Chains A and B, each alone.
Chain A
Amino acid sequence: MHILVVGGGMGGTILANNLARRLSGELEQGSSKITMLSATDKHMYQPGLLYVAVGKMSTTELYRDQKSLLEPSIDFHVDPVEKFDMDNNSVTTKSGKKISYDILCIATGSRGNAAGIPGLAENACQFYTEADALAMYKKLQKFEGGKVVVATGVPHKCPMSPLEITFFLVDYFKKRGIWDKVDLHYTYPIGRVHSLEPVANWAAPEFDKLGITYETLFNMKEVVPGKVISEEDSSAEFDLLVTVPPHKGQQVIEDNELGAGGFIPTDKKKLNMEGRENVFVLGDTTNLPISKAGSTAHFEAEALGENIAALVQQGEPVREYDGKVFCFIEAGDGKATYAMFDYNNPPNPQAPTSGLHWFKTAYNRMYWASARGII
């Protein structure tokens, strides 16, 4: 059996390592093979970018060599896929190689698409790439006070980031001693300050306490210098605009017409691509109505690892993905909490504590063990 994993982010890496552990016997005998194709030889810890944007983490801590994170039995190539030929179970790579597979796993992820909203890229700070996070930090360092607006597009990666960046901005301005010169205004696409109701119920009074104003049902339509205008015919003026931009899937998914917006229609429990039994999708690449977050990719990868190994060894899958998501929520002031939920159980987050902030701080450095499939 040849298992081809396309994408070397969190989901692809955890899945490939999980499979390499489960199928070590088959890989040694040569009856199975795992190949990974990625666009880069570096692996980035993406959640770290939020910290880079406010000067809490350095960019050198964000990267490791992809090869160093993979089991030695995985055949890794920096050669991204350009064409999917699913009827013939093969892909064509950038270098022109044609690779056949028995099982295909697509984990190409999503990317910020500020260009989707006129004027957003030119007028806002964002933190979804290393360059953007660094540019945002530089801009913050020069900021001496005024109106700051946080605006969020949909869909977006990491549902906690709009709140986290807001609380981190408060910490940052307080540390600089300019908090009294800042008017912080938070906007959010739906009718409360966060998609999770209990989180919204906790965050709104926190905003009130800190003097952060907010407007809900605010979806960016256009940004002009100094002003963001919403589809709901409202607007907010700013001296500094911080955005969680709308996201879309990778170009290769759109080019191959695998799904609208670059998101592939996926079965919510089996995680196979709709209409394809031997193609699995995980992480941000799915069109599932669940959080686009590292933890989603992680739990999906574990369920898929078990299932694909069972398919290889027994010919039948053994479990279904239950929709589990676990998200830390940095609450500022050295505290954090978390939200955990699945398809059947709603989240029930508790008050933030410093212990959970340490846990998150430690996890930021323990991610690599997680990517290797240890924790």
Chain B
Amino acid sequence: MSSEISVQQQVDRFMQGAGDALTDDTVARLGFMINELLIIADRITRNKNIMKLLEMSESKDFAKVLDALGNAVESQKNAPKSSGIGGMLKVMGDPNVQNSLRLLGSINKELNK
């Protein structure tokens, strides 16, 4: 067996190998997958909201928001439950809670613009 084979022979062997390995069913499944991927890609790239979300996902602030959400969920699990009017007044006095309420207020304002 000669070790020197031409590019054409290599291509021929590759096609032969692919032909022997593939079945109609495999090709059909691949075709189906490509079809679905194309449709998903088309939907994503032409949907302004998803594109904006993707754009936002690249900013540092977005990462911060996700981190904060994750941390908040985590800390909520461990937080002692406060109850009654006294407990509520105590929570309202917390500067972090006041900040959060201000943030929610400005989001609400933006949404109503």
Give A residues with C-beta under 8 Å from B: 56, 334, 354-355, 357-358, 361-369, 372, 374-375
Closest to A24 in B: B46
Chain B 70-90 against A: per-residue CB contact (8 Å), 1 yes, 0 no? 000000000000000000000
CA of A334 to CA of B39, assembled, Å:
28
Question: Count the B residues whose beta carbon is within 8 Å of the partner chain — how many?
Answer: 15
Residues B42 and A374 in contact, CB atoms below 8 Å apart: yes
**Closest 10 pairs (CB-CB, A-B):** A362-B31, A365-B31, A365-B32, A369-B38, A366-B35, A358-B27, A361-B27, A369-B35, A354-B19, A366-B31
Residues B24 and A361 in contact, CB atoms below 8 Å apart: yes
Residues A364 and B39 in contact, CB atoms below 8 Å apart: no
In the complex, which residues of chain A have a beta carbon less than 8 angstroms from the beta carbon of B65? none
- Is the contact region of chain B dominated by helix, strand, or loop, or is it mixed? helix
Residues A362 and B34 in contact, CB atoms below 8 Å apart: yes
Residues B38 and A362 in contact, CB atoms below 8 Å apart: no
Contacting residues of chain B (1-47) with chain A, CB-CB under 8 angstroms: 15, 19, 22, 24, 27-32, 34-35, 38-39, 42
With both chains docked as a complex, state the minimum distance between the C-beta of B39 and any C-beta of chain A, in angstroms.
Answer: 6
Residues B39 and A372 in contact, CB atoms below 8 Å apart: yes
Q: Which of B22, B28, B29, B42 contacts A372 (CB 8 A)?
A: B42
Residues B31 and A364 in contact, CB atoms below 8 Å apart: yes
Residues B28 and A365 in contact, CB atoms below 8 Å apart: yes
Residues A374 and B31 in contact, CB atoms below 8 Å apart: no
In the complex, which residues of chain A have a beta carbon less than 8 angstroms from the beta carbon of B42? 369, 372, 374
Residues A361 and B31 in contact, CB atoms below 8 Å apart: yes
CA of A334 to CA of B22, assembled, Å:
11
In the complex, which residues of chain B have a beta carbon less than 8 angstroms from the beta carbon of A358? 22, 24, 27
In the complex, which residues of chain B have a beta carbon less than 8 angstroms from the beta carbon of A355? 15, 19
CA of A367 to CA of B28, assembled, Å:
12
With both chains docked as a complex, state the minimum distance between the C-beta of B67 and any C-beta of chain A, in angstroms.
Answer: 35
In the complex, which residues of chain B have a beta carbon less than 8 angstroms from the beta carbon of A366? 31-32, 34-35, 38
